[in-house]
Structure 1
């Protein structure tokens, strides 16, 4: 695969997350934790921002971002509107960062000191892993959001 495909896939999925975010009825519902779950939609959104900026934006886009993973899951760092702005910017940041990776760069080793997914990991391997991570949390966010816009309304 070439980096253009990765750029397209990440931008597509970040737009999907943003669309889910915009459908939340209000700030309060974004931060509620559903029974039987551990995280609110807001915390998952903050987690995706930290994850993508740290593991793609920093090494490939020279983004100067310092992650606070604990805050992603324990604090309200953004309002709904601020999250929308963050994800709009994130789409550009991640797309630009991935576009700096050459075809040969995809086969290069991804530094274990940044993220260790697999002992023999390449940049491409980590990009696939992070895309699956983004997709997984997008599904969780979709379920969380639908609770407030569909399921809760019918109760």
Structure 2
């Protein structure tokens, strides 16, 4: 069943996201930017949390989450412990939403067109997994490059 595979992959990578955030040796480095790196690891983390809470929680799970995408990139200096808690809460939303979806639900059209065209829910969830992996790699690179004194 693809739902179990999707749950496993999101669990793996959201836990990896939490590990990446906790791996910054200098907490302030989470928020550093550089002339060639315009998004900090902290802001990318907030973006992933907002993205998944919106597209899983609000759209599919009717969680009531209200996304403010602009704040995902403008907020700064959120404590690492709070980011870790947000990641854990996001994982819970992803899993509880997936637990509500049947194979038939995955084959249905996703309720909105975030990519500008119609697609199945399954297709969009796979897209979201790719989006998570993309930014997870950026956070890893950001940490290795800018987490220095």
Contact 2:106–2:121 under 8 Å retained in 1: yes
What's the Cα RMSD here? 1.6
Tell me, in whole angstroms, the C-alpha distance in 2 between the residues paired with 1:34 and 1:83. Answer: 21
TM-score w.r.t. the length of structure 2 is 0.92
Instruction: Name the CA shift for 1:107/1:22 in 2 (closer, same or farther; >3 Å).
Output: same
Higher mean C-alpha deviation, range 52-61 or range 38-47: 52-61
Instruction: Report what 1:119 is aligned to.
Output: 117
1:1-155 superposed matches below 5 A = 2-76=2-76, 78-112=78-112, 115-117=113-115, 119-149=117-147, 152=148
Matched residues, number: 149
Following the alignment from structure 2 to structure 1, what is the Cα–Cα distance between the partners of residues 77 and 110?
A: 29
* Deviation beyond 4 Å, 4+ runs, structure 1: none
CA distance in 1, matches of 2:118, 2:43: 31
**Aligned partners of 1:24 and 1:148 also within 8 Å:** no
Shift of the 77–97 alpha-carbon distance from structure 1 to 2, 3 Å rule, reads farther
The unaligned stretches of length 5 or more in structure 2 are: none
Q: What's the offset of the Cα at 1:51?
A: 0.2
CA contact (8 A) 1:34 1:144 kept: no
**Residues 97-106 or 128-137, more deviating:** 97-106
- Segments of structure 1 that go 5 or more residues without pairing to the other structure are none
